[in-house]
Amino acid sequence: MEYNFREIEKKWQKYWLENRTFKAEIDYSRPKYYVLDMFPYPSGTGLHVGHPLGYIASDIYTRYKRLNGFNVLHPMGYDAFGLPAEQFAIQTGTHPAVTTGKNILRYREQLDKIGFSFDWDREVKTSDPAYYKWTQWTFIRLFKHWYNNKTQKAEPIDDLIRIFLKEGNGTIDAACTSEWQKDIQKKDPSFPEKWNGIFTADQWKSFTEKQQQEILMNYRLAYLSEAMVNWCPDLGTVLANDEVANGFSVRGGHPVERKLMRQWFLRITAYAQRLLDGLETIDFSESLKEMQRNWIGRSDGAEVVFPVKGTNFALDIFTTRPDTIFGATFMVIAPEHELAEIIATDDRLSAIKEYIDRVKNRSERERMTEVKKVSGEFTGAYCINPLNGKDIPIWVADYVLAGYGTGAIMAVPAHDSRDYEFAKHFGLPIVEVVSGGNISESSYDAKEGTLINSDFINGMEVQQAVKTVIRRIEEMNIGKGKVNYRLRDAIFSRQRYWGEPFPVYFRDGIACVLDESELPLVLPEVDTFLPTETGDPPLARAKNWVTSEGYPYETSTMPGFAGSSGYYLRYMDPRNDHEYFSKESNEYWQNVDLYIGGSEHATGHLIYSRFWNKFLFDIGLACKDEPYRKLINQGMIQGRSSIVYRLKGSNRFVSYGLRDQFDITEMHVDVNLVKDDVLDTDAFKKWRPDLADAEFILEEGNYICGFEVEKMSKSLHNVINPDDLIENYGADTLRLYEMFLGPLEQSKPWDTKGIEGVFRFIRKFRRLFHNHENEFFVSEEEPSAAELKILHKTIKKAREDIERFSFNTAVSSFMICVNELSDPKCCKRAILEPLCILVSPYAPHLAEELWEKLGNTVSISNAPFPVFNEEFVAEDTFRYPVSFNGKMRFQLDLSLDLSSDEVEKLVLQAEESQKWLKGNTPKKIIYVPKKIINIVI
């Protein structure tokens, strides 16, 4: 065989493994570089061609950095806890650890075949107790810390207790659960009613231990709280906000409802501002940063107190438009608002109760679909506008959310589209206070214009009016400027089996964490993976799921993002059993220089992970406050589905071109039965039993299929398996082709046809090193100027392209180079050896093979990247495009050392020019050296 890729690739994969070629160790003599791929979840279906795209890109970059003298950390491991293995366990009884172990083996096998340069000695699995020990450890640290808003960092809870003992909590500015004192008071009436939550040192000392712990819980960064959560009955668990889309679970698409439950939370909201600010310092795509910004959702505004007329109550409202306060014509509170029923007048009370009841009992699904339906009820009560004393009616409506701001708003229909809809629907007044719109048609929401009908801010521009009103309400002591975030604390409990157990037990109802020396708390065995009859999570089935003192352990487990939040740090020192990672390893590897993965993790993993890291930074563990310096989202590889056209209600199929003449239904057919859009009709009949007697209406003797570009998925029968391609073309060709397909970040359809071109290239490249008899042969002859020019042009391009992650154009430049060298059949070592290094990150197996044949005894992976030499590509002439009025008409070779006057003269003298000048004298001649000559007539 001319090019025996099977043998070559097996040989070098074995060599790399046996020689630990890619083992990364701390080496102060070389600069470090850290390249990371997003943690894969080892699913049962294995990899399709879309999965390795990012891995190939990162591997190429890794190998490139090694060639440039960097000590590269490039690890791989598995996000091994997760729902699919557990769902499978429920169905079949197979332990998730068994399923996961099997899937990991399959993944590893597939990854190995592609020839990645991972340091496998650093492999981690989140389900391994030696790994999750540190996930549990971090949880304990979070539990034992609070967030000090004054210093803007996490501090030990013991320090907080010390302050409580000395001066109470009056001076503390902490990130804590809002209105926590109300919840505590509800549960424990020994706290004063209407307590504002402030206590003195003496009061603190007088609290029972249980009371103290209840209070501290509201300060901890990992805390237990009762809250409305996303409950998914089909999965039997609670889900985080990013795991829910449109009222359904992202994984599996099961309906999700709102439920009040006691859960563990992580106080990520404490870090909202830092998570936002950090985005300015990292190199992520603009769209990803924007997604994170929206998810964090900072809004600047003011909180204002509106007294409720004739009562001692007041409505606290949040608004981003304090400037429009004179246009507030009604107030709206959320149905869950505590004052809703209290302030309602007797005649309105039953209507209000009925409305609240109706709204509450709706499913999340109904709520979502009814979003555009305006509904609400008047409470009968009025607020007093604190700036002009006017009465404003108070309504209850579900378009105001209890969970955001204060759950109450001042409605300004003239300048808020939602308020406008509401006002129109219920016939409430609309008062224009910012000029610039036409409020008879729609609200004018823009934050620009001049204030009118607004007392002391009349004539001001919006920005100035906002500031003025905030200053005024602060002076009057009826409100203050305020920043709100949309980001919610992360729900950290899952009522599932296959996850990290919480290192938590309950002593007399008080949640306590284990001592760090007792970690890991190993996941116990259970008889079945289902919840108990009483609805408790599967861990409640475990025998002796209690501490040595007999206190019960927490029965929830941690969510998927727990194990993946800090994994990049563990890779630095993965076998350390007495600390998360050593200080030395962290100070050497620092953080990830290049992170490649899908954008679907924008609001999940990538936010949690940044939060987790900032916490570890605060407590002095991580030396960098951002985990990922640069991130690239690889685009999706879409499938190219093949479609056949079935005559309705029959087993006859009509070819693509004739389908319009019949009444047909479309059907996806397995792409493996189709070649160049021609269906293999015999294979089709054998595909499924019901198709055995299929008949075909052909065109020109063939059945032609239609096609559709869509998601690559099993159900659409368009999955391309990399194993098959490697079998037919080899891993080097697969690697090159995945890169050649198009820009890394763009989505693009997979089309197997194109792989032939790359396969041709790689054989042509190999042929440069072989003679006609297919024997390895290179000559020691001095290279010609032309050959050196080809080589150095390619060195330059290869480096520039890889530096900007333009792998597709780099592959093209190799093709051009090999085409140009093939013409004179260059076989000179001085050209081929550097070229071999250039290609090696992309096609490492063949490069190693040729490198060895060239007489090298050590792996090509640490060879020096060829140095570009300008001299070899220098030109003394340039072929100028000559344009007339901007249209290119002819080309002209000119020496580069001519003056612009000489150039102008020569151009005008050129024979071709006469034709275009048509006797005119040019008005102007533009001459841009090494670019263009343009003659304006």
**Looking only at residues 324 through 383 of this chain, which bind RNA when binding is defined by CB under 7 A?**
334, 368, 370-373, 375
What are the two backbone dihedrals, phi and then psi, of residue 148, each rounded to the nearest 5 degrees? Answer: -90, 110
x/- map, 584-613, RNA, by CB under 7 A:
---------------xx-xx----------
Q: Helix or strand or coil: residue 72?
A: strand
Alpha-carbon gap, residue 144 to 156, rounded angstroms: 6
Binding to RNA in span 778-797, by CB under 7 A: 797
Give min distance, CB of 314 to RNA, in A.
17
Q: Are strands 244-245 and 248-249 parallel, antiparallel or unpaired?
A: antiparallel
In residues, how long is the chain?
937
Alpha-carbon gap, residue 274 to 795, rounded angstroms: 42
Task: Kindly state the DSSP code that residue 112 receives in the 8-state scheme.
Answer: H
Which one of residues 265, 761, 769, 872 is an interface residue with RNA (CB under 7 A)? 761
Q: Helix or strand or coil: residue 201?
A: helix
Q: Could you count the other beta carbons within 10 Å of the beta carbon of residue 515?
A: 9
Nearest to RNA of 784, 891 (CB atom): 891
CA 847 to chain CA mean position, Å: 34
Nearest to RNA of 77, 559 (CB atom): 559
Binding to RNA in span 447-486, by CB under 7 A: 484, 486
Give min distance, CB of 370 to RNA, in A.
6
Range in contact with RNA (rule: CB under 7 A) among 160-168, 228-236, 349-357, 878-886: 878-886
Which one of residues 204, 265, 295, 595 is an interface residue with RNA (CB under 7 A)? 295
Q: Helix or strand or coil: residue 249?
A: strand
Task: Say how many CA atoms lie within 13 Å of 661 toward its Cβ.
Answer: 9
Binding to RNA in span 170-209, by CB under 7 A: none
**Residues 449 and 461 sit within 8 Å (Cβ to Cβ):** yes
Nearest to RNA of 20, 915 (CB atom): 915
- Helix boundaries (H) for 823-876: 829-839, 844-853, 870-873
Range in contact with RNA (rule: CB under 7 A) among 135-143, 262-270, 464-472, 875-883: 875-883
Give min distance, CB of 552 to RNA, in A.
35
Nearest to RNA of 233, 403 (CB atom): 403
Nearest to RNA of 43, 299 (CB atom): 299
For the chain, give me the number of helices (H) and strands (E)?
31, 33
Give min distance, CB of 632 to RNA, in A.
13
Nearest to RNA of 43, 883 (CB atom): 883
x/- map, 216-245, RNA, by CB under 7 A:
-------------------------xx--x
**Cα radius of gyration (the chain):** 34
Q: Give the tokens for residue 154.
A: 């996490």
Q: Helix or strand or coil: residue 146?
A: strand
Range in contact with RNA (rule: CB under 7 A) among 264-272, 665-673, 684-692, 886-894: 886-894
Range in contact with RNA (rule: CB under 7 A) among 45-53, 186-194, 343-351, 884-892: 884-892
Range in contact with RNA (rule: CB under 7 A) among 62-70, 187-195, 398-406, 581-589: 398-406
Which one of residues 166, 262, 879, 905 is an interface residue with RNA (CB under 7 A)? 879
What are the two backbone dihedrals, phi and then psi, of residue 438, each rounded to the nearest 5 degrees? Answer: -125, 95
Which one of residues 743, 873, 892, 898 is an interface residue with RNA (CB under 7 A)? 743
The CA-atom distances, in angstroms, between 777 and each of 8, 196, 472, 766 are 18, 87, 87, 11
Range in contact with RNA (rule: CB under 7 A) among 318-326, 472-480, 843-851, 902-910: 318-326
Q: Are strands 237-239 and 244-245 parallel, antiparallel or unpaired?
A: unpaired
Q: Give the tokens for residue 440.
A: 């008879």
Q: Give the tokens for residue 19.
A: 């020689």
Q: Answer yes or no whether residue 617 interacts with RNA by CB under 7 A.
A: no
The residues near 931 (Cβ < 8 Å, ≥ 6 apart) are none
Q: Answer yes or no whether residue 424 interacts with RNA by CB under 7 A.
A: no
Binding to RNA in span 890-919, by CB under 7 A: 891, 915
Alpha-carbon gap, residue 585 to 26, rounded angstroms: 7
The residues near 169 (Cβ < 8 Å, ≥ 6 apart) are 163, 197, 198, 199, 204
Range in contact with RNA (rule: CB under 7 A) among 170-178, 293-301, 304-312, 841-849: 293-301
Which one of residues 52, 327, 407, 503 is an interface residue with RNA (CB under 7 A)? 407
x/- map, 914-933, RNA, by CB under 7 A:
-x--------x-x-x--xx-
**Residues 637 and 50 sit within 8 Å (Cβ to Cβ):** yes
Q: DSSP readout, 866-905?
A: PPP-HHHH--SEEEEEEEETTEEEEEEEEETT--HHHHHH
Q: Helix or strand or coil: residue 638?
A: strand
Q: Helix or strand or coil: residue 50?
A: coil
Q: Report CA torsion sign: 738, 740, 743, 747.
A: negative
CA 780 to chain CA mean position, Å: 51
The residues near 857 (Cβ < 8 Å, ≥ 6 apart) are none
Q: Could you count the other beta carbons within 10 Å of the beta carbon of residue 2?
A: 8
Which one of residues 748, 793, 829, 853 is an interface residue with RNA (CB under 7 A)? 748
Give min distance, CB of 403 to RNA, in A.
7
Nearest to RNA of 341, 600 (CB atom): 600
Beta bridge partners of 37: 596
**Residues 417 and 424 sit within 8 Å (Cβ to Cβ):** no
Range in contact with RNA (rule: CB under 7 A) among 91-99, 319-327, 544-552, 780-788: 319-327
x/- map, 271-290, RNA, by CB under 7 A:
---------------xx--x
x/- map, 34-63, RNA, by CB under 7 A:
------------------------------
Nearest to RNA of 190, 921 (CB atom): 921
Nearest to RNA of 399, 628 (CB atom): 399
Q: Answer yes or no whether residue 94 interacts with RNA by CB under 7 A.
A: no
Nearest to RNA of 299, 590 (CB atom): 299
Which one of residues 170, 233, 403, 864 is an interface residue with RNA (CB under 7 A)? 403
Give min distance, CB of 792 to RNA, in A.
14
**Residues 791 and 831 sit within 8 Å (Cβ to Cβ):** yes
Task: Kindly state the DSSP code that residue 191 receives in the 8-state scheme.
Answer: S
Give min distance, CB of 68 to RNA, in A.
19
The CA-atom distances, in angstroms, between 110 and each of 51, 631, 719 are 11, 25, 15
Nearest to RNA of 52, 75 (CB atom): 52
Range in contact with RNA (rule: CB under 7 A) among 59-67, 616-624, 805-813, 849-857: 805-813
Range in contact with RNA (rule: CB under 7 A) among 606-614, 643-651, 656-664, 736-744: 736-744
Which one of residues 749, 783, 841, 844 is an interface residue with RNA (CB under 7 A)? 749
Which one of residues 549, 676, 693, 782 is an interface residue with RNA (CB under 7 A)? 676
Alpha-carbon gap, residue 937 to 925, rounded angstroms: 9
Nearest to RNA of 184, 275 (CB atom): 275
Nearest to RNA of 668, 764 (CB atom): 764
Number of chain positions touching RNA (CB under 7 A): 89
Binding to RNA in span 501-560, by CB under 7 A: none
Which one of residues 4, 650, 665, 819 is an interface residue with RNA (CB under 7 A)? 819
The CA-atom distances, in angstroms, between 334 and each of 102, 303, 319, 426, 733 are 50, 16, 15, 17, 60
| CB environment 451-474: b (16+ within 10 A), e (fewer) | bbebeebeebebeebbebbbebbe
Task: Give the max Cα distance, the chain.
Answer: 106
Give min distance, CB of 293 to RNA, in A.
8
Give min distance, CB of 749 to RNA, in A.
6
Give min distance, CB of 60 to RNA, in A.
16
